[in-house]
Structure 1
Amino acid sequence: MDKLSVMHAFRRIVERGSFARAADDLGVSPALLSREIKLLEESLGCTLIARTTRSMSLTDAGRIYYDEANAVLEAVRGVETRIREGAGAVQGHLRVNAASSFAQMVIAPSLPEFLSAYPDLRLTLSLDERVVDMVEGGFDLSIRIRPAMADSALVARKIGIIRQRIFSSRGYLERAGTPQTPDDIPAHDIIGFALATHLTSWTLHRTNGDTAEEPHTIELDPHVRVGNSLILRDLLIAGHGIGTLPDFVANEAEARGDLVRVLPDYELPSPEVFAVTASRLGMDAKVSAFLEHLRPHLQA
């Protein structure tokens, strides 16, 4: 028995003063309505409506049930109204998880403007290089950089793309020599991103010239492995070797001349930026607002 549905039917019977009129309003037969009320009375162990062939009246128990059912139904309606109204409002608590280097370089600079635009919003930004359990962690949104997202119960939307290139410092290249071909790379000191899928194997493809050339794969054994792209960048700037960096980490250092491109005609496959949510019912207003604010800072 659907108690809320029966409560609604009972209230309509009382307010209309007739099983037939209530049944007509609800689009069901009077016989079905009568059976529903009979089952309700049996479950409660008392009579709610005293009825004859010509009239009906509430018993004392029926009047109590009507008052309480009316309060319950109004409370449910109020909750549903607040949820519907709130679904379009940028408010509440937004919980976001992202890779630490991406959060520091891309998300963090945009946060002051975002928070000023939505003063009623609370924000928790959690940084983690590894993929987390969104449901267990209670996150509304996870920003992940991956070559592809595996099929799962989560919903992943592509929101950007990252260029992955090879960098070093001028000082290191002057000391150790500048690689001229991909096959020169393994002879150098390699600094690797410990969590990357390309830690020990770089598949390089040309970005200009003969783009039809087959990708070139080289096997590596990095002498230094770190789990944070910002640390990797700083080690490269300090002249400790050659490594790959995403554009959002390397751009400023390259513009200043602290880093230079190695094999500038080559780069690794471009990973994508995914916005991952747990629900297939669509993003709520606060998640949508956050992603819209972030989008101009991404390379689509």
Structure 2
Amino acid sequence: MDKLSVMHAFRRIVERGSFARAAEDLGVSPALLSREVKLLEEGLGTSLLTRTTRSMALTEAGRVYYEEAQGILDAVAAAEARIRDGAGAVRGRLRVNAPVSFGQVVIAPALPALLEAHPGLELTLSLDDRVVDMVEGGFDLSIRIRPAMPDSALRVRRIGTVRQRVFASPDYLARAGTPERPGDLAGHRIIGFLMADHLASWTLEGEGGPVTVALDPPVQVGSSLALRDLLIAGQGIGTLPDFVSDPAEASGELVRVLPGWELPPPGIYALSASRVGMDARGAAFLEHLRGALRAGGHS
């Protein structure tokens, strides 16, 4: 039994959550994968997976083996890449998924420098505000902005932080009045962000907080850029991430509402499901992205 091949197959089974999907990826039969895992378990003298007709889960021994196998496979792949391409070479295709507004405002301006520095890099950047299955979608890296990331088989690195604050246009506030405390928001027209965890309520942190305000936004949009434009047009009050709000605030098109309060800052996370997210391609992309985040004050 080729231990490295079995480790690779086992990792793929865990990442895909299915013998059938892993077998399809690897070009072998599910029966062969099942037999190899059984032989592996017999050799180790313990079960690595608990399987039923409808689900599959790692045992504690399986979790340890999976984590150790990841390290071994990544080390082997890195050694091969250094020998094949030369240390630090950045070549080949990198597939990245990111939220739409973050991709447009933060990632896109950083791409010219990345591509000029690494002409051998081929890049696919997919922008989608929905949380996609990055393994199913074939992505090497996924950038997500969330208050926290749930436990998963994916590798998660926090690469920055976003400030999420409340804004309106000067015209709206002149017409509708300026909230003095979080509870005053209930009397205002709220523009909600469909993809946010805080669509129906805002938990604001301040000197007297946290305070949670229940809301029923009459207007709800699925793009923070569209939300920004509605706020600039005087349509109401809403929350925006700082990478979207900073230019409009600097120009005076938007002003802070309840300046002593803001939502808990979500993190910017880089997720990878395979060694590609850790190799020279992924490292180069994240290096340029971190530079953009530092320049914007999001590190």
State the TM-score, normalized to the length of structure 2: 0.70
**Partner Cα separation in structure 1 for residue 211 and residue 220 of structure 2:** 22
Query: Is the aligned partner of 1:229 residue 2:224?
Result: yes
**Partner Cα separation in structure 1 for residue 199 and residue 189 of structure 2:** 13
**Residues 235-254 of structure 1 aligned to structure 2 (within 5 Å):** 235-254=230-249
**Residues 170-181 of structure 1 aligned to structure 2 (within 5 Å):** 170-181=170-181
State the match for 2:127 in structure 1: 127
State the match for 1:103 in structure 2: 103
**Partner Cα separation in structure 2 for residue 155 and residue 81 of structure 1:** 21
State the match for 1:165 in structure 2: 165
Q: Contact between 1:155 and 1:280, CA under 8 Å: does it hold in 2?
A: no
**Partner Cα separation in structure 1 for residue 193 and residue 277 of structure 2:** 34
Q: Deviations over 1:113-162 (max 9, x none)?
A: 11111111111100000111111111110000000001111111000000
**Partner Cα separation in structure 1 for residue 83 and residue 149 of structure 2:** 31
Q: Which amino acid aligns with 2:151?
A: D
- Following superposition, the deviation at residue 83 of structure 1 comes to 7.0
- Following superposition, the deviation at residue 279 of structure 1 comes to 2.7
Q: 1:115 to 1:183 in 2, by over 3 A?
A: same
Q: 1:137 to 1:234 in 2, by over 3 A?
A: same
Q: Which amino acid aligns with 1:241?
A: G
Does 86-95 or 257-266 show the bigger shift? 86-95
State the match for 2:51 in structure 1: none
**Residues 50-65 of structure 1 aligned to structure 2 (within 5 Å):** none
- Following superposition, the deviation at residue 297 of structure 1 comes to 1.8
- Following superposition, the deviation at residue 82 of structure 1 comes to 6.1
- Following superposition, the deviation at residue 107 of structure 1 comes to 0.4
Of 243, 250, 263 in structure 2, the residue corresponding to residue 255 of structure 1 is: 250
Query: Is the aligned partner of 1:278 residue 2:255?
Result: no
State the match for 1:92 in structure 2: 92
Name the larger-Rg structure: 1
Q: Which amino acid aligns with 1:255?
A: A
- Following superposition, the deviation at residue 229 of structure 1 comes to 0.3
Gaps of 5+ in 2: 3-78
Q: What SS class does the counterpart of residue 171 from structure 1 fall into?
A: helix
State the match for 2:137 in structure 1: 137
**Partner Cα separation in structure 1 for residue 124 and residue 226 of structure 2:** 24
**Partner Cα separation in structure 2 for residue 166 and residue 142 of structure 1:** 27
Query: Is the aligned partner of 1:290 residue 2:288?
Result: no
Q: Which amino acid aligns with 1:290?
A: F
How many residue pairs end up in the alignment? 220
Q: Contact between 2:193 and 2:223, CA under 8 Å: does it hold in 1?
A: yes
Percent identity of paired positions between Structure 1 and Structure 2: 65
Q: Deviations over 1:53-95 (max 9, x none)?
A: xxxxxxxxxxxxxxxxxxxxxxxxxxx8567433742110011
**Partner Cα separation in structure 1 for residue 114 and residue 131 of structure 2:** 25
Q: What SS class does the counterpart of residue 205 from structure 2 fall into?
A: strand
Q: 1:249 to 1:282 in 2, by over 3 A?
A: closer
Q: What SS class does the counterpart of residue 153 from structure 2 fall into?
A: coil
Q: Which amino acid aligns with 1:161?
A: T
Of 264, 268, 281 in structure 2, the residue corresponding to residue 269 of structure 1 is: 264
Q: CA RMSD in A?
A: 2.1
Q: Contact between 2:194 and 2:222, CA under 8 Å: does it hold in 1?
A: yes
Q: Which amino acid aligns with 1:297?
A: A
